[in-house]
């Protein structure tokens, strides 16, 4: 599906990002670069075509360094998955300035910095696919997630903007967003069991999603099978809001 493609996945050390890395590697990628701040998680990744790089998506210098390294080795980047993300949940009157800013920084500015470095190079090369990992929370809102909801709506708007911006001058660069429902990863460890049970109950498929189910959609959007899909947000949520 991504045969011969050079792929970059942020937050590729664990959870959904790690599964996306493994899925790209298993589906013919020439190289998959997992960028993460978690050195130990990166060290545990395996596969001849998988490369772990310690990069904070807020550090524009180290982003540039790693992008130049990848371009030097492969000549291009075909796929960028902006997956790194964090939560700092609280109802608004209890959400302090730090909790607001930390989530805005990683989830929004990190996506901006990564794409500012890679998107124009894709355009110059003439092809590419960018996938932003959003959330159903960015479409529907969620109690206690003012900061997170704002960022997840923001990355949808950015994908739509890039679908226009990077397709100029005849370039076939696509940009889409994926909106997962509630997925079984370490990110959900802070969510109370009662809340998780409530989510399952109101989901038609009566369960959480698995990282592989998100990775499958990201794989499709990153591949040439999705060559006429751009500027879209696609839900993968077990029917949560049907
Ligand atoms: N798990 C869910 O239910 C769910 C639902 C919808 C959307 N999402 C989104 O999917 C994405 C992945 O979520 P997950 O559940 O796998 O989370 P996770 O917490 O399991 O993994 C996130 C990864 O991102 C890395 N990361 C965090 N800050 C970083 C930074 N500044 N620079 C580089 N890497 C950084 C972490 O080290 C970690 O490896 C996130 O954007 C999240 O918002 C998750």
Tens of pLDDT, residues 185-237: 988 888 889 999 999 999 999 999 999 999 999 999 999 999 999 999 999 99
**Does ligand 1 have an atom closer than 6 angstroms to the CB of 222?**
no
Long-range CB pairs of 45-48, under 8 A, 24+ apart, other chains included:
45/12, 45/13, 45/18, 45/21, 47/22
Spell out the domains of the chain, with CATH numbers in brackets. Answer: 6-236 (3.40.50.720)
**Does ligand 1 have an atom closer than 6 angstroms to the CB of 188?**
yes
Say what the alpha-carbon torsion angle 81, 129, 148, 20 is, to the nearest 10 degrees.
-30
Q: At 197, which helix (H) or strand (E)? A: helix 193-202
Q: Round to whole Å and give the CA distance between 1 and 20.
A: 13
pTM given for the model? 0.98
CA of 169 to the centre of ligand 1 (A): 34
Question: Mean pLDDT for the chain?
Answer: 97
Identify the residue whose C-alpha is closest to ligand 1 atom 41.
85
Stretch 25-32: mean pLDDT, rounded? 98
Identify the residue whose C-alpha is closest to ligand 1 atom 38.
11
| Alpha-carbon torsion (37, 39, 44, 45), positive or negative | positive
Q: In what order do the strands lie in the sheet with 79-82?
A: 50-54, 31-36, 6-10, 79-82, 127-133, 172-180, 233-236
Length of the chain counted residue by residue: 242
Given the residues 24, 33, 148, 162, the one annotated as active site: 148
Return the structure tokens found at 88: 């700092």
| Alpha-carbon torsion (70, 78, 148, 212), positive or negative | negative
The per-residue pLDDT for range 149-176, each reduced to its tens digit, is: 999 999 999 999 999 999 999 999 999 9
Alpha carbon distance, N-terminus to C-terminus of the chain? 30
């Amino acid at each position: 599906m991504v045969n011969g493609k050079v792929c970059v996945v942020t937050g590729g050390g664990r959870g959904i990002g790690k599964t996306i890395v493994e899925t790209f590697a298993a589906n013919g990628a020439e190289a998959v670069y997992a960028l993460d701040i978690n050195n130990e998680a990166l060290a545990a990744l395996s596969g001849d075509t998988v490369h772990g790089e310690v990069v904070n998506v807020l550090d524009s210098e180290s982003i540039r360094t790693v992008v130049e390294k990848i371009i030097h080795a492969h000549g291009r980047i075909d796929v960028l998955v902006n997956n790194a993300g964090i939560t700092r949940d609280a109802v608004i009157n209890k959400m302090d300035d730090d909790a607001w800013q930390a989530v805005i920084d990683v989830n929004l500015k990190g996506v901006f910095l990564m794409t500012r470095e890679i998107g124009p190079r894709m355009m110059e090369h003439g092809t590419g696919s960018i996938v932003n990992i959003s959330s159903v929370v960015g479409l529907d809102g969620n109690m206690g997630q003012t900061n997170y909801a704002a960022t997840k709506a923001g990355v949808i708007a950015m994908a739509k903007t890039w679908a226009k911006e990077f397709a100029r001058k005849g370039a076939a660069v696509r940009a889409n967003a994926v909106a997962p429902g509630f997925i079984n990863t370490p990110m959900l460890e802070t969510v109370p069991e009662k809340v998780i049970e409530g989510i399952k109950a109101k989901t038609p498929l009566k369960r959480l999603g698995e990282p592989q189910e998100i990775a499958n959609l990201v794989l499709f959007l990153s591949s040439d099978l999705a060559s006429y899909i751009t500027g879209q947000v696609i839900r993968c949520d077990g029917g949560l809001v049907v």
